[in-house]
Amino acid sequence: MDKINILIIGSGGREHAISKALSNSRSSDVLFAFPGNPGILEIATFADIDLSAPHTIIDFCKEMNIGLVVIGPEQPLSDGLVDKLKAEGINCFGPNKYAAQLESSKSFAKDFMKKYDIPTAKYANFSKNNETLAHDYINSVKLPIVLKADGLAGGKGVVIPETYLDAHSLLDEMFTGKFGNAGDKVVIEEYLEGEEASIFAICDGNDFITLAPAQDHKRAYDDDKGPNTGGMGAYAPADIVNDEILEIIKNQVIIPVLEGMKKEGNPFIGCLYCGLMIKGNEVKVIEFNVRFGDPETQCVLSIFEGDLAKLFYSASLSKIDKSAVRNIAKSYSCNVVLASKGYPTTYENGFEITGIEKAQNSDTTVYQAGTKIKAGKLVSNGGRVLGVTAQGETLQDAINKAYEGVDQICFDNIFYRKDIGKKGLK
Ligand code: AMP
Ligand code: GLY
C-alpha cells in the first residue's frame, strides 16, 4: 500500500505508545495528533482541530489528505465521532456509536452478552426510577456482589461492597450522581473469582487478529489493595492465556461479538478489548472496551513487530491484512505507571519531572500521559503521569528493567506500585 497520513486522537500513555508504533510503521507517512501530549508531539505534528466541532476535523482531514483517523479514547467513540467522519468518506479505525455501546453502557453490554450467549457474570440492571427494586435485589443475593455505574466513569465506576450496609449506601451514591449521569442506571452482578487478563482483538467487522494477552493492575496499591484506578501497570504476554484459553476466548467471546454486531447491522471495526476472568478452563467477560487499554497497550505494542498502520488501515476497510503482523510478542514487557499521590481521587499537579532521558534506552521507553510543558519545563499534569515500559527476555528481566527506569525518574508526589508483574512470575 501507499504511505498514508494518519491523525491520532487522544493524549494518554496509550496514544503515545500507538503513536510510536505508527510512526515506526512502513505504511505511515505524516502523523498528526490531537490534543497529544509533550511526548506524543515529539513524534507527531499537532492538529489544530476541535473535538466538539466535528467539521473542524473533517476539514483538517481533507486538507491534510488524512488516510486514517485512529481514535484512542472511549468518549469520542461513544459520542459517535466515527459515524460523523465516515459520513464524509473519512476512514477511521474505531467502532461506530452503536457498537461503542459495548463500553459506553454496561447494561447494553450485559444484555448483548446474554442475547449472544457470551459467558459473563449473572446480573440484573436497574435504573434510578426503580431504586426500591434495586435495594430489594441486593437483599435477595449473597455477597460479594459488584455494583457498576452503567455509563463511562474512567474505570472508577465499579465497586465491590463488603457489607450489605455498604452495598445499599454505594447504590444510593450512584443513583444520586456520584458518577454523574453514568450512574442513572446500575448493573448489579455476581462476583467472579479467578485471574484477570486483557485481550485486544483488532477487528474489521468480520475477521480479527489478537495481540499479546496482557494483565493489568487495576487497584491503586500493592497486593491489589485500595480503590480501582484506570490501571497502575501491566505486563505482557500474560502466560495465563495459553493456546487453549485463547481458543476459548476466540470462539466464545470474540467471534460471537463480531457475529452479533453484524446481525445488529453495526459490524465492529476497531480494537475490541475483552476484560476477562479466567478460572481453570472457564472464561467469563468482566467488561468490554471498544478501544485499546491503558496501560496494557504500552506493553503490548512495545513487543509487537509489524506494520501497525497497515493493520489498522486494512481493518478500517473491512479487509484486515494479517500479514501486517510479523510477531505479536518478540519478548516480555512490563509497564509501571508513575502516578500523582492521591490518584484516583484528588492530587496536585505542576511538579517538574526529571530523569526521562536517563531512564530510556534500547529496552526501555517512558511514555507520557499526564504531562505538560510549563515555562519550558516538563511538569506533572494528571493522575497517571508517566508509564515506564521495558522489555526483556523473561518477565523477571522486563520487570527489573522497568523498575531500573523508574529509579531514574523524579517528581514531587510521585507514587507507584512496587509489585507490577509479580502475579505473572508464578
Ligand atoms: P470493569 O470496569 O467492569 O472492568 O471493572 C473494574 C474491575 O473491577 C475489574 O478489572 C475487576 O478487577 C473488578 N470486577 C469487575 N467486575 C467484577 C466481577 N463481576 N467479579 C469480580 N471482580 C470484578
Ligand atoms: N487498563 C484498563 C482500561 O484501559 O480500561
Ligand number with the minimum distance to the CA of 15: 2
Q: How far apart are CA 402 and CA 201, in angstroms?
A: 26
Confidence at residue 386, expressed as pLDDT on a 0 to 100 scale: 98
Indicate if the pLDDT at residue 146 is higher than 80.
yes
Strand order in the sheet with 92-93: 45-46, 28-35, 4-10, 66-71, 92-93
Confidence at residue 198, expressed as pLDDT on a 0 to 100 scale: 97
Torsion of CA 96, 97, 102, 105, to 10 degrees: 170
Ligand number with the minimum distance to the CA of 227: 1
Give me ligand 1 centre to Cα 286, in Å: 6
The predicted-structure confidence for 27-48, as pLDDT tens digits, reads as follows 999 999 999 999 999 999 999 9
Give the pLDDT band (50/70/90) at residue 68.
Answer: very high
Give the pLDDT band (50/70/90) at residue 155.
Answer: confident
Burial class for 252, CB neighbours closer than 10 Å (0-12, 13-18, 19+): middle
Indicate if the pLDDT at residue 228 is higher than 90.
no
Confidence at residue 1, expressed as pLDDT on a 0 to 100 scale: 85
Give me ligand 2 centre to Cα 185, in Å: 21
Closest atom of ligand 2 relative to the 293 alpha carbon? 4
Nearest CA to ligand 2 atom 5: 293
The predicted-structure confidence for 292-334, as pLDDT tens digits, reads as follows 999 999 999 999 999 999 999 999 999 999 999 999 999 999 9
Nearest CA to ligand 1 atom 14: 286
Confidence at residue 426, expressed as pLDDT on a 0 to 100 scale: 78
Give the pLDDT band (50/70/90) at residue 389.
Answer: very high
* Ligand 1 binding pocket includes 287 (Cβ within 6 Å): yes
Give me ligand 2 centre to Cα 306, in Å: 23
Closest atom of ligand 1 relative to the 121 alpha carbon? 19
In the numeric block, the cell 494528571 is attached to: 382
Indicate if the pLDDT at residue 134 is higher than 80.
yes
Closest atom of ligand 1 relative to the 157 alpha carbon? 2
Peptide bond into 119 cis (omega under 30): no
Give the pLDDT band (50/70/90) at residue 78.
Answer: very high
Confidence at residue 227, expressed as pLDDT on a 0 to 100 scale: 87
Indicate if the pLDDT at residue 12 is higher than 80.
yes
Range scoring the smallest mean pLDDT among 149-153, 156-160, 369-373: 156-160
Cα 159 to Cα 72, 134, 171, 173, 186: the distances in Å are 25, 15, 9, 11, 11
DSSP annotation string for 249-260: HIIIIIHHHHHH
Give me ligand 2 centre to Cα 275, in Å: 9
In the numeric block, the cell 528493567 is attached to: 401
> Would you identify the CATH topology of the domain 4-94?
Rossmann fold (3.40.50)
Closest atom of ligand 2 relative to the 231 alpha carbon? 1
> Would you identify the CATH topology of the domain 195-425?
D-amino Acid Aminotransferase; Chain A, domain 1 (3.30.470)
Q: List every span in the chain annotated with CATH 3.30.1490.20.
A: 123-190
Indicate if the pLDDT at residue 22 is higher than 80.
yes
Indicate if the pLDDT at residue 19 is higher than 80.
yes
Give the pLDDT band (50/70/90) at residue 425.
Answer: very high
- Average pLDDT of span 276-292: 97
Confidence at residue 231, expressed as pLDDT on a 0 to 100 scale: 94
Closest atom of ligand 2 relative to the 287 alpha carbon? 5
pTM of the model: 0.96
Confidence at residue 304, expressed as pLDDT on a 0 to 100 scale: 98
Ligand 2 residue neighbourhood (C-beta within 6 Å) = 155, 216, 230-231, 289, 293-294, 296
Mutate to test the pocket of ligand 1, among 141, 146, 284, 291 (most ligand atoms within 8 A of CB): 146
Q: List every span in the chain annotated with CATH 3.40.50.20.
A: 4-94
DSSP 393: S
Q: List every span in the chain annotated with CATH 3.30.470.20.
A: 195-425
DSSP annotation string for 147-199: EEESS--TT--EE--SSHHHHHHHHHHHHTTTTGGGGSEEEEEE---SEEEEE
Confidence at residue 416, expressed as pLDDT on a 0 to 100 scale: 98
Give me ligand 2 centre to Cα 140, in Å: 31
The predicted-structure confidence for 79-103, as pLDDT tens digits, reads as follows 999 999 999 999 999 999 999 999 9
- CATH number belonging to domain 123-190: 3.30.1490.20
Nearest CA to ligand 2 atom 3: 293
Q: How far apart are CA 30 and CA 68, in angstroms?
A: 11
